[in-house]
Amino acid sequence: MEHYKKFYEVGVNRYYTINVDDEMYIGTESFLNLGKKKLFRKQKELNMGFKLLKFSAPIAQLFNAMDNLKPTKKQKYNHEDMITYEHIDNRKLKEDIKQAYFKVINDEMANVLKQQADLLNEGKDELAAQCEAYIEKLKEVDPLNGIVLGAPTHTGCMILRTMLREGLEHLYTEPVNAFAKNVYLYDQDCFGTLTIYRLITVKGVVKTIDTFIYDREVIGSLLKTLYEEGR
């Protein structure tokens, strides 16, 4: 685990981040304590599994939305007072995701335009022309880069259709290759726990479903860690 950075631990789960090929991933390690806890000896652990979720822009926006949810009321649950939260507006979330992607391109465009103006003021017309060529290329860039925010087109798949009918929200779909796609759905309970479902489909058929569960404490700890590290 030397390349992983742990940012949170609760119960039998530890949470990490790792950067691979300029992409950040969230790792979830589940373990089981073995034997009795001794005073001067570390308790043995049995690793029960490890999962990785890509911290893409849509996931980041979803986490921000979860972290910003306002409490609604307290509710009795198993004889305890539990705080309940409002639900995420999925339409607004997808608009925020679009804006996050386009902001990257717009910020780059503004930066290059400023460079071009400075070069023209300095009489460096040749370098300014290179900026112009780069600007034209930026205009052709698809900021979503294959990300599909619209409803899944292969809803003929019974599993996916059933999950959507049962109230799960579609977050985004991304291509893996010409035949396979990752479809991300999510569900939020009233107590502020988020479950993300990653469906791997091949030619519209679901091959695997992975689930990732994060409560508000895990999400808040991750966002705080990334803020403090300037990421």
Question: Which amino acid, one-letter code, is at 58?
Answer: P
For residue 69, what are the CA distances in angstroms to 66, 145, 158?
Answer: 5, 29, 32
Residue 224: what pLDDT? 94
Asked if residue 106 has pLDDT above 80, the reply is yes
Asked if residue 3 has pLDDT above 80, the reply is yes
Report pTM.
Answer: 0.84
Asked if residue 96 has pLDDT above 70, the reply is yes
Residue 228: what pLDDT? 87
| Mean pLDDT value across residues 51-60 | 94
Residue 40: what pLDDT? 62
Residue 204: what pLDDT? 83
| Mean pLDDT value across residues 136-157 | 80
Q: Edge-to-edge strand order for the sheet containing 193-202? A: 169-175, 180-188, 193-202, 205-215
Question: 54 falls in which pLDDT band (50, 70, 90)?
Answer: very high
Range in 32-46, 140-154, 177-191 with the lowest mean pLDDT: 32-46
In terms of average pLDDT, the best of 80-84, 162-166, 177-181, 214-218 is 214-218
Q: What are the strands, taking DSSP E only, across the chain? A: 5-10, 13-20, 23-34, 44-54, 71-77, 80-85, 169-175, 180-188, 193-202, 205-215
- Between 184 and 229, name the one with better pLDDT: 184
Percent of the chain with pLDDT over 90: 48
Residue 11: what pLDDT? 85
CA nearest neighbour of 201 among 228, 217, 221, 180 = 180
